[in-house]
Structure 1
Amino acid sequence: MIRTELERLQAENEALKEKIAHLEKHIYQLETHQTLFAGARGESIISKLVDGEVTAYGESHDIEIGGEEGLRLEVKMASLNRPVKHSNTLRWAWSKILGESGDKDYDWLILIGKKDERYLAYYPDLDSAYVFFAVPKTELTSLLSNSGKKKMIYLTTNPRTTRSRTAILFKKYMLSQDQLSKQFGL
């Protein structure tokens, strides 16, 4: 009798473990849906501009140019957000720059930010809804901020007034779509 009860409890425990795993996966998908969608949109934009191949989800980089031996790009997309309630300041926040576990393997980071309509005259590409930045991975260290486990890059949207260490993005790494195509396209 005890043996039968033990087997029943073990089977029930296994069924509950499976249900928990299923629910955790479902919660993860719900939490990341918007992020995954934005990421796929960014990857699509860049792959078309540079004639690159989008890699499978979970790879160590997002786009390959020139096959496996060519350039590897990581693409991050950010919307406008207001870091301080009731402030006029808007910024972009790109997260997980080095990946979920810090092991992303790429040559260049391509940052895409939705344009702040107030500063259109200071961004390239009047016909694009986005601002683009291309940063070699070797030059990322000074741009990264820690947010728990995540490595982030924050940049206010006003190129004239930003004074943070990431202001160099506007001065050195901001590119038009045409410049991106010429720099990375084959």
Structure 2
Amino acid sequence: MKAKKTPMTILVLLIYLLVLTWLIVFKLATAPYELSPLRSINLIPFAENQDWDGSFHFKEVLANGLVFIPLGVLLKRLSPKRNLLQVALYGLSLSFVFEASQYLLAIGASDVTDLLANTVGAIVGSLLFSGFSKLFKKSLGVVLDWLIVLGSVLLVLLVLWLKSRGIWIWHFV
């Protein structure tokens, strides 16, 4: 599929990055007092987290990976010739910026497991895009743009609904 930097795709990417930053770095806080003052770092992948309850949280790892799938899709949509390693490096880099920001601002727990899960999520998104582009060939672009918009809106609404109900999978939110 030919690279098409449609205004809609670029707009969706920018909105996605803003929402992702709000979700990961600022934990959906709408005011500074909602942020928990925390500065910790875990450099052991998939280790028990002593900051919370000492257990491993699979749902959180899964959620971290899932929220990075759109990044892989959008990166491939903007440049289908981008290879898997490039997408992985973009995912890893963005995740590192988020984790470092949490640590530097003392508003979260930085964790190497998050780096890994987020990177895998971007890779999965890239693979999904590649698979769907082979299935749908020419009509994929327009369909994908609208699916991304719809999916993004639904995801934001779901996250806000879960938070409002207290049904949340991330800690410190």
Question: What's the TM-score, normalizing by structure 2?
Answer: 0.25
RCO greater where, 1 or 2, for CA within 8 Å and sep 6 or more? 2
Q: Which has the higher helix share?
A: 2
Structure (1 or 2) with the larger CA radius of gyration: 1
Calculate the TM-score normalised by the size of structure 1.
0.24
